[in-house]
Amino acid sequence: METAFAQMLPPVASDVAGNWDTLFLFLVGVSVVFFVIVVGSMLWFLIKYREKEPGQKVGNIVHNDKLEFLWITIPTILVMIIFAWGWIVYKRMVDAPESAYDIKVIGKQWLWQFQYDNGKTTIGELIVPEKIPVRLIMTSDDVIHSFFLPDFRIKNDVVPGMYTKVWFQANEQGEHTIFCAEYCGNAHSKMMGTVKVVSLSEWETFQKGKGAPKERPASLVEWGQQLYTDKGCFACHSVDGVKGIGPSFKGIWGKQEEMSDGSHILVDENYVRESIEYPGTTKDKLVKGFPPVMPTFKGLIAEEELNALIAFIKNLKE
C-alpha cells in the first residue's frame, strides 16, 4: 500500500527525500481517514435523520460529553504529532552541516548559472558529488525565480538583492531535472537545468580541472582578491587585521558585527552583500566606530563578482 503511494512521487534521490515522503504519506493517510469519518457520517445522518413523514418533529438533541471529549483530544494529539514531526523534518532540510560544500547559484531570465570554488562556471548543469552535503547559495540577476528540485524534495525562492540557501545530500550518481517554480516571464517553463551527481573521484577531477575563463584567476577566492584590488576596496580595507578607513576584512566572517546603533548583525553572505550595495552612506546601519564614507557599489559589481568577493572575504576568516 505504502509503496503504491510512494511510486506516485518522484524518485527518492536525496537524503531527506525519504523523510519527506513518509511525512507526506502520513498526512495523506490522516486526511483520508478524516474524510471518510466526516463525509461518511454526514451521508449516514442524511439518511437516518431524513424527514420520514411530513411534519415530523425532531427531538431536542443536546451534547454528548464522551463524543466531544474524543473529537477534541484525538485531533489535538494528531496535530501535535504532525507539528513535531514536520518540525524535525523541516529542521533537517534547513540546517546544513558546517562541512557542506558551497556552490553559488544565479538565476537569470531564463537559465541557471552555477559557480564553483575552483572558478568554474556552468550553465544549465549543476555538478555535485554523491554522498557529500552540498549547500546552494542562491540569488537572482533580475526577477524572482524559484529553485525546484523535485527528486531531492527541495525548493526555495531565488530573489534579487539577497541570498537564499538550500542544501542536500545526493544518494547516488545520476541526473535530475531542475525547474523554476516561480512564473518569471515568457520562457519561464523552459528555465530548466540538470543536476549531475558524480562519483567522488569524478568530483575531485572536476575540482582540480581548471575551468575558469582564461582572463580570470583559477579560483573564486583568487578572483575575489583580484576584484578587491581592481575595484579599489584595498584603499579602505586591509586583509591583515589593521584598521584602515574601513574595518579590516580579516576574521570578520561569521562574527557578530556591532553597528553604531548598538545592534549586532551576523557577517554572512547577505551581510557582506548589503555592506557593498548599501553601505553606511546610503542607510542608517553603519559599522560601529567608522564614518559613513564607503561609496555604494550597487550596479557596479556583477552577481558573479559579488560571489567572488564574498568567497574572498569568507576565506579570510581565521
Q: Which residues form the interface with Cu ion (CB under 5 A)?
A: 145, 180, 184, 191
Quick one: which of 280, 308, 311, 316 contacts ligand HEC (CB under 6 A)? 280
Single out the residue of 170, 252, 308, 316 in contact with ligand HEC (rule: CB under 6 A): 252
Cite the DSSP H helix spans in the chain. Answer: 2-6, 17-48, 65-94, 200-208, 220-230, 269-277, 303-315
Residue 20 preceded by cis peptide, ω within 30: no
The one-character DSSP state at 151 is G
Of 9-17, 24-32, 82-90, 267-275, which part binds ligand HEC (CB under 6 A)?
Answer: 267-275
Nearer to ligand HEC, 157 or 257 (CB): 257
Which residue matches cell numbers 579570510? 316
CB closer to ligand HEC out of 25 and 236: 236
Q: Could you tell which of ligand HEC, Cu ion, none binds residue 180, using a CB distance below 5 to 8 A set by kind?
A: Cu ion
Q: Which stretch binds ligand HEC (CB under 6 A): 26-34, 72-80, 150-158, 279-287?
A: 279-287
- Using the rule CB under 6 A, is 221 a contact of ligand HEC? no
> Is residue 302 near ligand HEC by the rule CB under 6 A?
no
Phi-psi region of 167 (alpha: psi -120 to 50; beta: other; left: phi over 0): beta
290 binds ligand HEC (CB under 6 A): yes
> What's at 184, amino acid-wise?
C
Q: How far apart are CA 146 and CA 179, in angstroms?
A: 8
Strand pairing class (193-198; 133-140): unpaired
Measured from the CB atom, is 135 or 145 closer to Cu ion? Answer: 145
Burial class of residue 277, CB neighbours in 10 A (0-12, 13-18, 19+): middle
Among 137, 195, 233, 308, binds ligand HEC (CB under 6 A): 233
The reply to whether 294 sits near ligand HEC by the rule CB under 6 A is yes
**Closest to ligand HEC by CB, 79 or 302:** 302
3-state secondary structure of 259: strand
Asked if 232 is part of the footprint of ligand HEC (rule: CB under 6 A), the reply reads yes
237 binds ligand HEC (CB under 6 A): yes
The verdict on 297 binding ligand HEC (CB under 6 A) reads yes
Residue 312 CA to residue 276 CA, distance in Å, equals 14
184 binds, among Cu ion, ligand HEC, none (CB under 5 to 8 A by kind): Cu ion
The conformational region for residue 72 under phi > 0 = left, psi -120 to 50 = alpha, else beta, is alpha
Quick check: 293 binds ligand HEC (CB under 6 A)?
yes
Rounded Cα distance, 318 and 314, in Å: 9
Shortest distance (Å) from residue 269 CB to ligand HEC: 11
d(CA 7, CA 93): 22
Interaction site with ligand HEC (CB under 6 A): 231-233, 235-237, 245-247, 252, 257, 267, 272, 275-276, 279-280, 286-287, 290-294, 297, 309
